[in-house]
Structure formats: C-alpha cells, structure tokens
Amino acid sequence: MSSRSDELRDAIVELARAKAPPGQAVNLLNIGPTLVTKMNFDQDEVVNTLYAMQEGGLIRLLEGNRIIVVARGPDNPRVGVSAQNFGTQAQA
C-alpha cells in the first residue's frame, strides 16, 4: 500500500472509532463526507481501500453502507490485526 492508502486507512479507522465503540457498526455516510470533502480523498480511493481493509481483516463491510472495525487497537485489544500491521498482514 502506498502512503496515501495508509493515510486513508488510518483515517477510516479513526473516524469510525470516533463514531461508535469497537464492535458496533458505523454508517459510511457518517464518515464519507469527511474523507472526501475535508481530507480530499476521492470516492474510488475510499471504495478500493475499504475492500482492501475487508480483505485484510481490518473491517467488515455490512449491508446498508455500514462497516465494523474489527482490528486490535487501543480501544479493542482482543480482536483482529492491528491497524499498524494491516499492510504487512494483507500481503502475508
């Protein structure tokens, strides 16, 4: 993943965790506008990164434009892979 992809991945996790506690679904409509209008990512980048994050086990994509962050991190130490190791985990 490029550094821009890493930045986008980290932003998605951070925004999702700010909207809901670990293990609870977040509507992408609550974080998408920030990613596109305030952080200047385009929609294709966001979609591609979401699919890569799901493939790597960092998130689950749900019906209704929602995601759940399933990665281990400071707020959720027991589940999944860490966000910092996502890029290496996805390639392993």
Say which CATH number the domain at 8 has.
Answer: 1.10.10
Q: How confident is the model at residue 76 (pLDDT cuts 50, 70, 90)?
A: very low
Domain that holds residue 30: 3-91
Number of compact structural domains in the chain: 1
Strand (E) or helix (H) holding 89? helix 86-91
- Digit-coded pLDDT (tens) for 36-69: 999 999 999 999 999 999 999 999 999 999 999 9
pLDDT the model gives residue 72: 56
Give me the helix-helix angle, 43-55 and 3-19, nearest 10°: 80
Q: Within 13 Å of residue 33, how many CA atoms lie on the same side as its CB?
A: 3
Do 43 and 84 contact (CB within 8 A), yes or no?
A: no
pTM (two decimals): 0.75
